[in-house]
Structure 1
Amino acid sequence: MDGSIMFWLSLFLLALLAGAGDAAGGRGGGGGGERRGVYVVYMGAVPPRTSPNFLHETHLRLVSGVLTRGKPAENVVVQQYTRVFSGFAARLSEPEAAALRRKPGVVSVFAAPVSHLHTTRSWDFLQQQTAVVVKTDRARRRRSSPDATATATAVSSASSSSATADTIIGLLDSGVWPESPSFDDAGFGPVPSRWKGVCMAGDGFNSSNCNRKLIGARYYDLGVGEVKKRPSARSSGSSPRDEAGHGTHTSSTAAGNAVTGASYYGLAPGTAKGGSAASRVAMYRVCSDEGCAGSAILAGFDDAVADGGDVISVSLGASPYFRPDFSEDPIAIGSFHAVAKGVMVVCSAGNAGPDAATVVNAAPWILTVAASTIDRYFESDVVLGGNNTAVKGGAINFSNLDKSPKYPLITGESAKSSSVSDTESASHCEPGTLDASKIKGKIVLCHHSRNSDTSKLEKVDELKSAGAVGSVLVDDLEKAVSTAYVDFPVTEITSAAAADIHKYIASTSEPVATITPTITFTEYKPAPVVAYFSSRGPSAQTPNILKPDVAAPGVNILASWIPTTTLPPGEKKPSQFNLVSGTSMACPHVAGAAATVKAWNPTWSPAAIRSAIMTTATQLNNDKAPMTTDSGSPATPYDYGAGQVSPTGALDAGLVYELGEDDYLQFLCNYGYGASQIKLIASSLPAGFTCAGAGNASKDLISDLNYPSIAVTGLGTAGSRTVSRVVTNVGAQREASYAVTVAAPAGLDVKVVPSKLEFTESVQKLGFQVTFSVSGKNAAAQADLSGSITWSDGKHTVRSPFVVSS
């Protein structure tokens, strides 16, 4: 089996075992000494006019009915959901859980899963990219589009307007560091009156840590497997305070204040700011070092919606190899009810790329975000002896080595321990394969690949402990991500660059080198590219919905961080900022953009906001060429969805694709859920609503969901497929005429009817149909074909990507 697959399988088997441990509990209890674990009992939407107290008692009675006589339900129920949706988490045995599954009113019962975190210049870069695309598009049209600079200024103004200051971004994450300047409330007015949240006191955190910027903070007892709200508790995770840095980074990326003079010990200097800097922040700490308990995630959603948030940002998710079904996925459940209440939910796509079909958080009511690079590069070179040739590399280190190449240079292979026979493992510097006496005082060249047994940081720690003075790592896959080695001189190079170093080593009996400290380069090209780690489509659950939706900056992102003890040489004070990569970092970029769109359009639904973000996304890099992946291959909708998010463009979308709760319920019908489940999940069913029931054949109808992108499967067998869409005119001109253009690959015929949409004062919604037909004798054998459908009135460009597969 491929080493990369083995790596991911082993990683997620550990996660699965953690979840199994949560289910098993490891503790005795119940009748007959049965092992007990935390199970979530999900009961759908809160029925109209139902009080939380009534639900509280209902949950306890339900549990009492399956427990051993005399055992109080209060002793096993560890969390209840009563504000937006109904359900609870309880410590149960498997027979008790099975009994609850058979109870009326229960949608699902499942062992509480453990999710994991998907772990500045980025906003300036996004605006620059919008300007590039606008100018390029303007050159192609007869009628010019709005001036890019003016529009970018409008976005900046929107981010600091009083309207934006009334938007609230809630984050389900690892907590927050309230002392960060990103959350200072100077200049902020009163907290919006609709806010119903709280600032919970906990370890090292009190209510005064919240202010008019950080308006709310909640936490949940984060011992994975036993989650319960306990404001007075004093155990691990009993505080909204961030102990990992992740939540502080994501929240400041989404809505942090503009902080001048920000940098990571001098690297990436400039102004760090969030995408919607005038928005308020509310943190829901659902994660600890052990992971993110499913019962805590559900509690976070329940609170974030009821507290009054506008956008919820979720930078975590399940394993792509053991993903739960929608009715047993805390993120899918929580986000469904959030969207039903009009709250936008933005989630990271996962970090399991570049393998196909690894995207998570793929429910159609979620806006799913992939990760891309920005135009910043952190360069650290290897300078070789002889003629002082510099071999370009990239990483984050604060090398204190002499600038002259005087340190002996050796390969891992030549430093192999005599007790080790595996030369390849030694060349990869796997722990235990090298002779410490051979590497002490030297720079060691090590290869690294996806099938390496250990991480780069583990290898470097081993070399550092053995007395090496530095290391050069050869890594083609991860070249776009600058790993932070901080206090140890390390740089990373490509295989092509490594060939030059090997040639130099072979040319002399005493090869020497040095490693230069990192410097920052901007306007790096090409950018953006899709990051190697970003999870790819198609969605394994719903291939008839194109996921991810969009891409956003997620590589080497500078944002606020918690104090750290690992400092560069000579530094005495921790940096208030850090450079981090992951789809976790991409997600809050889009959450910030969504909050700005919401501020400008307060009545818009989550679907309309998502549509505006998707249909105005860009597909060009700063070379004005089509975006690629970081391996250089052309990027496809499976890599980046509709393209790179354009916060500027999303404010003037022209047309939007609307969806409501009824549409998502019909999706669940087509997906295979029965009418009885649908009735429990929904707060109320529309008049005349029918559900065809379970059946795989109906999944083809998912392609007709009024989504801003189109995905069709089975075209090779059917030969032809027609899907329907409806668009709503949201432009300033109520009378508008849009014409369609189609970009289709060879082997696929695409016809749009009608080819023009004429909006009038009385007609603001219009439908159209798209027919896909295979053409050519080899068309049916082609796995995936992609293109786009674009509507334009000369001012607005409304683009929808499509993918069809055989």
Structure 2
Amino acid sequence: MNWALPVYKPLTGHTFFHTTELTHPPTMASINTRLLRHLALFLFLAPLTDSSLAPKINSQSTFKSQPSSIYIVHANHLAKPSHFATLGHWYTSIVATQSPRPVADHFTRILYTYDTVMHGFAVQLTGDEAQRMSDAVGVLGVYEDKPLRLLTTRSPGFLGLDPQFGAWRDTDSGDGVIIGFVDSGIWPESPSFNDSGLGPVRPSWRGKCVDAGNFNASLCNNKLVGAKAFTAGPMPSPRDWYGHGTHVASTAAGSEVRDIGIDMFARGTARGVAPKAKVAMYMVSSLSTSQIAAAIDAAVKDGVDIISISIADDVPTPFYNDIVSIAVFGAERAGVFVVLAGGNEGPKASTVKNAAPWMTTVAAGTVDRLFPASLNLGDGTVLIGQSLYTMKANGTNMVPLVINPCLKKTLTPDQIMGKIVVCIFSSEDKGEDDDDQGQGVDIVETMQRAGAAGIVSVLTSSWSPDDALADDTAIFPCLGLGYAAGKKLRAYMASEPYPVASLSFACETVIGANRAPMVASFSSRGPNPVVSELLKPDVIAPGVNILAASPGDAGSQDIPRNGTYQLDGGTSMATPHVAGVAALIKKKHSDWTPAMIRSALITTAATLDNTGREILDNGLVDPNGNAKLIEDPAEDFDNYPLSPGSRPSHLLNGH
């Protein structure tokens, strides 16, 4: 669908970025709403600036004369003087001229070069050198490198996927589609990456697996077809010691593995949303923008169809000043669909990340699976929460209740021994001191040593469904309560001078008893903090208590992880669900552009939950939906002026 674009006069005094509580199915009324939404996409750039497209120096970076740090130099490759044989020779000349050092070969100083989704290089510079570099002929911008942050036996079934009908049957489960992951690496030995029944990768594939110390290229197969690492270390290895990349890759494209669960919980057949799709991992060790851009560049060059990125910046940045946004724009222009996490800073408004119009931005929602347990109060009230504790208990032993800040320094025996400790967390609270914080494995270890009788964690936000659950609760009596139950608990403790309670654990998994999906309390929300007319996130996907593959020996040495599959949550976990659905769409419609795939995801999203009530946001991604209104606004984006004489394609070459 093409749009006739009016000319808008740019305004000053505004900046850019987003989220939202999205739209309804495409009835005629909602189609009109959707037309207005896309018109808003073209309006959103107008207030950005009345100056040139991209500042020579990243406006969020203050260049310092010392010490040196990594900078990304974005270059217009068309400006290369003809006497340089290659772009590499030109880049070396720029470095040698603007940043002279006593080295024999200035090319060795270049950390990464970008030649597919954008052009340029990353190099170590002082602030003064970066300033000079920004004035060099052919340089579009210089950006200081910065670190970003990492943000399923049931979820495919919850999305309506079934081997006998619908998307899995119609697309052969995404067979042959290649999904690239920019993440913490991969654990290739996981059963989720077995290649049983899969054919070889297509001949046009240019990726490979590296040999690097603890990662042997022979570990790759017809499922894991690529593994590279972007790191400053001497032997860059894509092996995942953290677990995040392994989890998201298996969520999107894990092979079928039967009888998987956490002890007796969540048992079933684990598989990804596109279980026959192929996996390519691009490990970024420092999560820095220079590495992420290099990984995106390599993935597109290798020939992936989809890229999944569960990483985000803490600070909203105008897209023309955001090197990841520029790289994603280049990837989409090259025909690669990119899906990104919307962030974990909910329930506060205007917190969404990765919100450029060419990005597909994902929020996290709950699923219809619970692990019920109860807190039995001294006045007879029974509060239902969730737990993965593996020892059944009938809750007859009443012990004192005590509220504690749940910091390591406050979890002492004199405060908590023999008591059920209540930890009350705001879902947007990061704690007063990360080093002193009692969370996850640390809180369990500390309370065990101090002799606590159990733990109850309570979320204080009214947006919170019962989505607080940690996989380390299997080895200690722990229970998570949502907002409503937590409010009753606090009222009881306020009214009783000596509050007491007991814990009951049924040690079971219940399907379909709770309303779902609901937007997870932690999921970042709109409106767009920069341009409210640009609606984001685009869809929600399962992101709470998602079971997927994990490195077998990752985690605490004192508290073992439960095998090679773990529950985890976040928009990081929601994002690969959408990557998997995109792979199914790509398999069925190989000629569709990224913008068409995004349009299909949005227009087919389910707008009612399992109780028939309306879902906030744009709706739950629906892999079995039939595309109702497919639009391709890519050309429209390129025709819209960002500022006088400039448009989005100038992000890549300056004109």
Of 371, 380, 394, which aligns to 1:378? 371
Is there any run of 5+ residues in structure 2 with no aligned partner, and where?
1-57
Of 634, 651, 655, which aligns to 1:681? 651
Task: Quote how far apart the aligned CAs of 1:200 are.
Answer: 0.9
Answer yes or no: is 1:592 the counterpart of 2:592: no
Of 246, 250, 253, which aligns to 1:252? 250
Structure 2 counterparts to residues 703-742 of structure 1, below 5 A: none
2:417 is aligned to 440
Task: Quote how far apart the aligned CAs of 1:43 are.
Answer: 1.7
Q: Which amino acid aligns with 1:342?
A: G
Of 597, 621, 626, which aligns to 1:645? 621
- 2:337 and 2:360 map into 1 onto residues whose CA distance is 8
Q: Which amino acid aligns with 1:468?
A: A
TM-score when scaled to structure 1? 0.67
Q: Which amino acid aligns with 1:647?
A: P
Give secondary structure in 2 for the equivalent of 1:334: helix
Structure 2 counterparts to residues 792-803 of structure 1, below 5 A: none
Q: In structure 2, do the counterparts of structure 1 residues 673 and 122 end up closer, same or farther at CA, with 3 Å as the change threshold?
A: farther
1:410 is aligned to 401
CA deviations on 1:166-185 (whole Å, 9 max, x unpaired) are 21100101101111111111
Tell me, yes or no, if the aligned pair for 1:374 and 1:527 is still in contact at 8 Å.
yes
Give secondary structure in 2 for the equivalent of 1:127: coil
Give secondary structure in 1 for the equivalent of 2:251: helix
1:581 is aligned to 569
Task: Quote how far apart the aligned CAs of 1:100 are.
Answer: 1.1
1:689 is aligned to none
- 1:96 and 1:338 map into 2 onto residues whose CA distance is 29
CA deviations on 1:383-411 (whole Å, 9 max, x unpaired) are 45797x743222333347x5452252232
Structure 2 counterparts to residues 112-127 of structure 1, below 5 A: 112-118=145-151, 120-127=153-160
Tell me, yes or no, if the aligned pair for 1:107 and 1:680 is still in contact at 8 Å.
no
CA deviations on 1:583-625 (whole Å, 9 max, x unpaired) are 1111111111111111111111111111111111111010111
1:180 is aligned to 190
Give secondary structure in 2 for the equivalent of 1:608: helix
2:539 is aligned to 550
Q: Which amino acid aligns with 2:170?
A: A
Task: Quote how far apart the aligned CAs of 1:455 are.
Answer: 5.3
- 2:244 and 2:419 map into 1 onto residues whose CA distance is 35
2:88 is aligned to 56
Task: Quote how far apart the aligned CAs of 1:492 are.
Answer: 2.2
Give secondary structure in 2 for the equivalent of 1:65: helix
Answer yes or no: is 1:96 the counterpart of 2:129: yes
2:526 is aligned to 537
Higher strand proportion = 1
CA deviations on 1:302-333 (whole Å, 9 max, x unpaired) are 110010111111111101xx233323323211
1:392 is aligned to 384
Task: Quote how far apart the aligned CAs of 1:69 are.
Answer: 5.9
- 2:368 and 2:275 map into 1 onto residues whose CA distance is 22
Q: Which amino acid aligns with 2:317?
A: P
- 1:590 and 1:88 map into 2 onto residues whose CA distance is 31
1:732 is aligned to none
Tell me, yes or no, if the aligned pair for 2:370 and 2:509 is still in contact at 8 Å.
yes
- 2:76 and 2:316 map into 1 onto residues whose CA distance is 20
Tell me, yes or no, if the aligned pair for 1:42 and 1:107 is still in contact at 8 Å.
yes
Of 504, 517, 520, which aligns to 2:509? 520
- 1:211 and 1:196 map into 2 onto residues whose CA distance is 15
Tell me, yes or no, if the aligned pair for 1:81 and 1:302 is still in contact at 8 Å.
yes
Tell me, yes or no, if the aligned pair for 1:250 and 1:588 is still in contact at 8 Å.
yes
Task: Quote how far apart the aligned CAs of 1:220 are.
Answer: 0.9
Structure 2 counterparts to residues 78-477 of structure 1, below 5 A: 78-118=111-151, 120-127=153-160, 153-160=165-172, 164-221=174-231, 227=232, 233-234=234-235, 238-286=236-284, 288=285, 291-319=286-314, 322-383=315-376, 390-399=382-391, 403-406=394-397, 408-412=399-403, 426=404, 428-433=405-410, 436-450=413-427, 453=432, 454=437, 456-457=439-440, 459-477=443-461
Q: Which amino acid aligns with 1:483?
A: A
Between the aligned residues of both structures, percent identity stands at 35
CA deviations on 1:355-389 (whole Å, 9 max, x unpaired) are 111111111111111111110112122245797x7
- 1:188 and 1:407 map into 2 onto residues whose CA distance is 55
Give secondary structure in 2 for the equivalent of 1:486: helix
Q: In structure 2, do the counterparts of structure 1 residues 127 and 504 end up closer, same or farther at CA, with 3 Å as the change threshold?
A: same
Q: In structure 2, do the counterparts of structure 1 residues 205 and 576 end up closer, same or farther at CA, with 3 Å as the change threshold?
A: same
TM-score when scaled to structure 2? 0.81
Task: Quote how far apart the aligned CAs of 1:45 are.
Answer: 6.4
- 2:397 and 2:252 map into 1 onto residues whose CA distance is 46
Tell me, yes or no, if the aligned pair for 1:44 and 1:681 is still in contact at 8 Å.
no
Q: Which amino acid aligns with 1:550?
A: V
Q: Which amino acid aligns with 1:59?
A: Y
- 1:156 and 1:51 map into 2 onto residues whose CA distance is 54
The higher relative CO (CA closer than 8 Å, separation ≥ 6) is in 2
Task: Quote how far apart the aligned CAs of 1:442 are.
Answer: 2.8
- 2:580 and 2:522 map into 1 onto residues whose CA distance is 22
- 1:601 and 1:52 map into 2 onto residues whose CA distance is 42
- 1:166 and 1:304 map into 2 onto residues whose CA distance is 16
Q: In structure 2, do the counterparts of structure 1 residues 354 and 45 end up closer, same or farther at CA, with 3 Å as the change threshold?
A: farther
CA deviations on 1:554-598 (whole Å, 9 max, x unpaired) are 1111111112466999x9884221111111111111111111111
Q: Which amino acid aligns with 2:550?
A: W
Alignment size in residue pairs: 584
Tell me, yes or no, if the aligned pair for 1:43 and 1:680 is still in contact at 8 Å.
no
Q: Which amino acid aligns with 1:154?
A: G
Task: Quote how far apart the aligned CAs of 1:198 are.
Answer: 1.3
- 1:60 and 1:653 map into 2 onto residues whose CA distance is 49
Give secondary structure in 2 for the equivalent of 1:555: coil
Tell me, yes or no, if the aligned pair for 1:23 and 1:38 is still in contact at 8 Å.
no
Q: Which amino acid aligns with 2:425?
A: H
- 1:76 and 1:436 map into 2 onto residues whose CA distance is 54
Tell me, yes or no, if the aligned pair for 2:148 and 2:287 is still in contact at 8 Å.
yes
Of 455, 464, 468, which aligns to 1:481? 468
Q: Which amino acid aligns with 1:491?
A: L
Q: Which amino acid aligns with 1:353?
A: G
Answer yes or no: is 1:38 the counterpart of 2:70: yes
- 2:115 and 2:653 map into 1 onto residues whose CA distance is 13
Give secondary structure in 2 for the equivalent of 1:107: strand
Q: In structure 2, do the counterparts of structure 1 residues 53 and 343 end up closer, same or farther at CA, with 3 Å as the change threshold?
A: farther
Tell me, yes or no, if the aligned pair for 2:468 and 2:480 is still in contact at 8 Å.
no
Tell me, yes or no, if the aligned pair for 1:23 and 1:37 is still in contact at 8 Å.
no
- 1:261 and 1:534 map into 2 onto residues whose CA distance is 30
Is there any run of 5+ residues in structure 1 with no aligned partner, and where?
1-18, 26-32, 129-148, 222-226, 413-425, 628-634, 686-806
Q: In structure 2, do the counterparts of structure 1 residues 500 and 682 end up closer, same or farther at CA, with 3 Å as the change threshold?
A: closer
Task: Quote how far apart the aligned CAs of 1:204 are.
Answer: 1.2
1:779 is aligned to none
